[in-house]
Each structure stands twice: as C-alpha cells, then as structure tokens.
Amino acid sequence: MKYEYKILEKTEQYKGFLKLNRYRLRHRLFAGGWSDEIVRERVEPLRAVSVLLYDPGRDEVVLIEQFRIGALESRDHPWLLEIIGGHIGAGETPEDVARRESLEEAGCEILELLPIGEFLVTPGTSGERIHLFCGRVDAANAGGIHGIDDEGEDIRVEVLRADEAIAEIYDGRINSTTGIMALQWLALHRDRLREGFSRLSGF
C-alpha cells in the first residue's frame, strides 16, 4: 500500500493558545483504493519538553504538583504530581527549554541532560509532540513553591525516593503520560544511571 492522503479542505475552527482545524480528506486503504471522504478535527502541532529530574547520588526524584485543567474529572482533584515541562518557543531547542523549565518550575539546575525519546501524545486528535529527557540534578535543597506569576503558575516541588516515585504510578497518584513513561524508564535504567549518566549517553 502507498501511504498517501489527500486534504480536500482545511478550515479554522478556533485560534487561541491552541489552534483547532477541521479537515476533509481521503486516504489510501489497506485493501486497495481510496477511502470515502472523512472529516477530522485536529489540534495543530505544539512541540513540548518534559524532563524527569533525578539525583543519582541521593537516588531521589524531583517532582512538581500543580492544577491542571485537563484533569477536572480526576478521581480526587485536578492537582497532578508530574515531571517538569514546557512548550518550545520560536528559536528554542528542546534542550534550552528543558534547562529553563527546570529552573522556573523546580528551582533546579540541570547538570547533565539525557534524551529518553520523542513521541506523539494523542495522535487521534492532536499533533502535539513531546521531547522526553532525564536531567541530573542536585536534589539536596530542592523544594518550595515555584512558577511564573505572569503565567498563573503555582507549583509545589516534592522530592521522593526513586522507589517511592515509581510506586506512585501504580497507586494512581502519578497518572500523566510523560510521568508514567519517564518513571518506567527510570525503573529500567536506574542502576546504570547511579553508576554514571555517561553510561547511557547516546541512548
């Protein structure tokens, strides 16, 4: 099968922080030929960064808690325990954003930065792409309330032992995609990270 599609029409539905467009399109079928005309709505691409902050010497993870509009229907409340992150602006690299957001949201300087991977978050409706990293930090003095006032951020830092943070996945306290992926990755690579971040360079 040829992986082909034809966009017949694209119309803007909403433009704010997010941009929503409606597409009329057709695409090739596995059985041959073309699909009927279909309509899909798409949140236009945003590029973002998420970073797991880890202190291998202390075997501790630096997490943040903040209110999230997308979690209004959560079991308990819409404050999520997460890893740090932010959107990539014009002229920025993912690495630039990782270091900036670590300082803004957690007050931590990243000493080494290791790429974990890059992925689409919800490709059924959105083009948002996440660059996921692990950042080595000194968690000895991590804590407090952080965030940018102009952006309405109110972020509390929480430091957990790595095994406690990993357990929070299964307890349901950490239930966002990036946090789950990053901590499962840490569970697989924790011993090698404690021997030295360079052992995983080029991962």
Query: Is 151 tagged catalytic?
Result: yes
Element at 58 (helix H, strand E):
none
Residues 154 and 137 in one domain: yes
Residues 12 and 101 in one domain: no
Residues 77 and 143 in one domain: yes
Q: Cβ(114)–Cβ(201) under 8 Å?
A: yes
Copy the structure tokens of residue 89.
């602006």
Q: Give the Cα separation of 163 and 143 in Å (integer).
A: 19
b/e for 173-197, b at 16 or more Cβ within 10 A? ebbbebbbbbbebbeebbeebeeeb
pTM (predicted TM-score): 0.92
pLDDT at 199: 66
Residues 35 and 129 in one domain: no
The single residue of 12, 151, 153, 195 carrying the catalytic annotation is 151
Residues 21 and 118 in one domain: no
Tell me which residue of 9, 2, 3, 4 sits closest to 37, measured CA to CA: 9
Q: Give the Cα separation of 176 and 180 in Å (integer).
A: 6
First to last CA, the chain: 33
pLDDT in tens, 123-171: 999 999 999 999 999 999 999 999 888 888 899 999 999 999 999 999 8
pLDDT at 202: 45
Residues 108 and 188 in one domain: yes
Residues 37 and 54 in one domain: no
Beta bridge partners of 55: 60
- Where does the chain show beta strands of DSSP type E? 5-15, 19-27, 38-43, 47-55, 60-67, 79-82, 84-87, 112-120, 129-136, 145-146, 155-161
Structural domain of residue 68, as residue ranges?
A: 47-200
pLDDT in tens, 53-109: 999 999 999 999 999 999 999 888 999 999 999 999 999 999 999 999 999 999 999
